[in-house]
Amino acid sequence: MSQRAAKLIFWVGTLSSLALFLGMTWDTHRSFAALTHADRLDANVVAGKRAFEKYNCNDCHTILGFGAYYAPDLTRAYKRLGEDAIRLRIASPEKVLAGSYRKMPQQHVKPEEIDRLVDFLRWVSDIDNHDWPPQDSATRWKAATRRLIGGAAMSPGAALVAQENCLSCHALGDAGEHRGPRFEYIATRRDAAWITRYLADPEAMTPGAVMPAFGTLSESQRRSVAEFITSLADRSTP
């Protein structure tokens, strides 16, 4: 190979890749507004991002898969855990994670900062990023739920979930709210015995829990609800 050919490889290789990269950068900027729902990116969300950086959250957690890998990914934390569970973890990690083998620091985050962090995580959870991460994929959550719907109408647990209005706080499939954790997530995390006890007295199991006690339900009714929830654990697509 001649010196000339070598220089040609250098310039053609570098400039073609650079042109492609800059061109796509320009086009990507045109797409960000729609893909991130920039219309919902208000001052509260920005304040939340500042708090997120102030407390160095990203050096333990990942978000969009980036950061440190020491704690759960936060991209869909709002959809997975819900607002109240997020608040509780930030405000009193020492209580929520008392039994956990991994701790989160108590950073004395101010109440208004917690509100903004929730705003930020709510906005992030709606970002359209080709359904990543897989463990929080809405498509996968809902696939299992849809499969269950036929049988669920017959299940006493499902009837109790409707009767007690659980979905005014929790999410299930396409329905429900994001105050508490999504049912499908609870199913992967807890067993029926644990949920049965939790329903009777949430405060006893998680100090500071916001959820009301369902002591009015009988032990067997609470077990039916628990069994309905744990039946959502299987997320394999049929």
Partner 1 sequence: MNFKTQRVAYPYFVVALLLFALQLVMGLYIAFNYFYTVPQEVVNVFPFSTARAMHTNLLVLWLLLGFMGATYYTVPEETQSELAWPRVAYAQLILLTGTGVAALVGFFFGWTQGRPLLEIPTTLDVLVVIGALMFLANVAVTIFRARRFTAVQGTLLAGLVFLAAMYLFGMPFYENLAIDWYYWWWVIHLWVEGAWELVTAALMAFMMIQLTGVERKVVEKWLYVELGLFLFTGLAGTGHHYYWIAAPRYWLWVGGIFSALEPLPIAFMLIDTWRSMRHSSRPQPRLTWVYVIGMAVLHFVGAGLFGFAHTLPQINYYTHGSQVTVSHGHLAFFGAYVLLNLSFFYFAIPRLKGFPEGRYDERGGHWGFWLLSSGVVGMSLAMAVAGVLQTYLERVQGQPYIVAQSPIRFWMMIVFLHGFLVLGGALVVIKHLLTLRPAPAPGR
Rounded least distance, CB 226 to partner 1, Å: 17
Query: Which has the closest alpha carbon to 86: 38, 131, 129, 119?
Result: 119
Return the residues of window 46-75 that contact partner 1 according to CB under 8 A.
46, 49-50, 52-60, 62-73
* Residue 129 touching partner 1 (CB under 8 A): yes
The residue type at 5: A
* Residue 41 touching partner 1 (CB under 8 A): yes
Nearest 5°: phi and psi at 65? 85, 0
Per the DSSP assignment, residues forming a β-bridge with 172 are 175
Rounded least distance, CB 159 to partner 1, Å: 27
Q: How many CA atoms lie within 13 A of 209 on its CB side?
A: 17
Rounded least distance, CB 13 to partner 1, Å: 3
CA distance 212 to 203: 8
* Residue 235 touching partner 1 (CB under 8 A): yes
* Residue 237 touching partner 1 (CB under 8 A): no
**Cβ closest to partner 1, residue 2 vs residue 218:** 2
Options 102-110, 193-201, 207-215, 221-229: segment touching partner 1 (CB under 8 A): 102-110
* Residue 9 touching partner 1 (CB under 8 A): yes
- Pick from 3, 139, 220, 237 the residue near partner 1 by CB under 8 A: 3
Q: Is 91 exposed, middle or buried (0-12, 13-18, 19+ CB in 10 A)?
A: middle
- Pick from 102, 154, 218, 238 the residue near partner 1 by CB under 8 A: 102
Query: By the 8 A CB rule, do 182 and 235 touch?
Result: no
Listed in sequence order, the DSSP H helices in 59-177 are 77-81, 83-91, 93-96, 111-125, 138-152, 156-163
Per the DSSP assignment, residues forming a β-bridge with 175 are 172
Rounded least distance, CB 162 to partner 1, Å: 26
**Cβ closest to partner 1, residue 68 vs residue 175:** 68
* Residue 216 touching partner 1 (CB under 8 A): no
- Using left for φ > 0, alpha for ψ between -120 and 50, and beta otherwise, residue 15 falls in alpha
- Pick from 85, 88, 90, 104 the residue near partner 1 by CB under 8 A: 104
**Cβ closest to partner 1, residue 54 vs residue 146:** 54
* Residue 133 touching partner 1 (CB under 8 A): yes
Query: By the 8 A CB rule, do 55 and 144 touch?
Result: no
**Cβ closest to partner 1, residue 12 vs residue 175:** 12
Query: By the 8 A CB rule, do 117 and 52 touch?
Result: yes
Return the residues of window 167-186 that contact partner 1 according to CB under 8 A.
185
